[in-house]
Amino acid sequence: MWPSSRTSRPWLRWYQGGVSPELDIPDVPVTRLLDDAVERHPRKTALVFFGHTMDYRELREAVDRFAAGLHRLGVQPGDRVALILPNCPQMVIAFFGVLRRGAIAVPHNPLYTEEEMAQQLADCGARVAVVVDRAYGTLRAVRNEVPLDHVVVTSMVDYLPRMKRLALRLPLLQTQRMRAKLTAEVPNEPGTMRFAELQQPAHRRVRQYRVDPGTHLATIQYTGGTEGRPKGAMLTHRNLVANAFQQQAWDTGSRDGHEVTLAVLPLFHSFGQMSCMVAALMRAGKIVLLPRFDGKQIVKALRKYQPTIFPGVPTLYGLVLDDPRLRADDLASVRIFLSGGTELPERTRDRLESLGGDRLVQCYGLTEASPAVTGNPLGGGARNTTMGVPLPMTDAVIVDHEEPTRVLPYGEPGELVVRGPQVFAGYWNAPLATAQVLSKGWLRTGDIAFMDEIGFVTILERQRDMIKVSGFSVFPHEVEEVLRRHAAVLDCAVVGLPDERRGERIVAYVVEHPAYPFSADELRRHCERSLSHYKVPSEFLPRTELPRNIIGKVLRQRLRSGTGSPRY
Lowest mean pLDDT among 144-153, 160-169, 217-226, 495-504: 160-169
User: Biggest alpha carbon distance in the chain?
Assistant: 74
120 phi/psi in degrees, rounded to 5 = -75, -40
> Which pLDDT does position 563 carry in this prediction?
56
Residues 268 and 275: their CA atoms lie apart, in Å, by: 12
- Long-range contacts, stretch 363-366, CB < 8 angstroms, 24+ apart: 363/338, 363/339, 363/387, 363/388, 364/340, 364/388, 364/457, 364/459, 365/270, 365/271, 365/340, 366/270, 366/445, 366/447
> Which pLDDT does position 176 carry in this prediction?
64
What is the separation of C-alpha 431 from the centre of its chain, rounded to a whole number of angstroms? 24
263 phi/psi in degrees, rounded to 5 = -100, 85
Q: What is the CATH number of domain 467-561?
A: 3.30.300.30
Residues 141 and 131: their CA atoms lie apart, in Å, by: 13
- The pLDDT tens digits of the residues spanning 506-563 come to 999 999 998 888 899 999 999 999 888 889 999 999 999 999 887 788 888 889 887 5
Q: Which residues are CB-contacts of 170 (< 8 A; sequence separation ≥ 6)?
A: none
Helix (H) or strand (E) holding 76: none
What is the pLDDT confidence band of residue 170, given thresholds at 50, 70 and 90?
low
Please tell me whether residue 26 adopts helix, strand or coil conformation. coil
> Which pLDDT does position 182 carry in this prediction?
77
Mean pLDDT over residues 263-268, rounded? 95
Mean pLDDT over residues 447-455, rounded? 95
> Which pLDDT does position 7 carry in this prediction?
52
> Which pLDDT does position 567 carry in this prediction?
34
Query: Which amino acid belongs to residue 126?
Result: A
**Does a cis peptide bond (omega within 30 degrees of 0) precede residue 371?**
yes
- Kindly list the distances between the CA atom of residue 554 and the CA atoms of 328, 342, 492, 546, 550, in Å, as whole numbers in the listed order: 30, 9, 9, 7, 10
> Which pLDDT does position 224 carry in this prediction?
59
What is the pLDDT confidence band of residue 500, given thresholds at 50, 70 and 90?
confident
- The pLDDT tens digits of the residues spanning 40-93 come to 999 999 999 999 999 999 999 999 999 999 999 999 999 999 999 999 999 999
- Mean residue pLDDT of the chain comes to 91
> Which pLDDT does position 205 carry in this prediction?
67
Could you state, in order of their start, the residue ranges of all structural domains in the chain?
A: 467-561
Count of beta carbons in the 10 Å neighbourhood of residue 522: 13
> Which pLDDT does position 4 carry in this prediction?
54
Residues 75 and 69: their CA atoms lie apart, in Å, by: 9
> Which pLDDT does position 111 carry in this prediction?
87
Residues 533 and 529: their CA atoms lie apart, in Å, by: 9
- Percent of the chain whose pLDDT exceeds 70: 93
Q: What is the pTM of this model?
A: 0.87
Query: Do 3 and 442 touch, CB atoms closer than 8 A?
Result: yes
Count of beta carbons in the 10 Å neighbourhood of residue 20: 11
What is the pLDDT confidence band of residue 171, given thresholds at 50, 70 and 90?
low
What is the pLDDT confidence band of residue 183, given thresholds at 50, 70 and 90?
confident
> Which pLDDT does position 285 carry in this prediction?
98
Helix (H) or strand (E) holding 476: helix 476-484
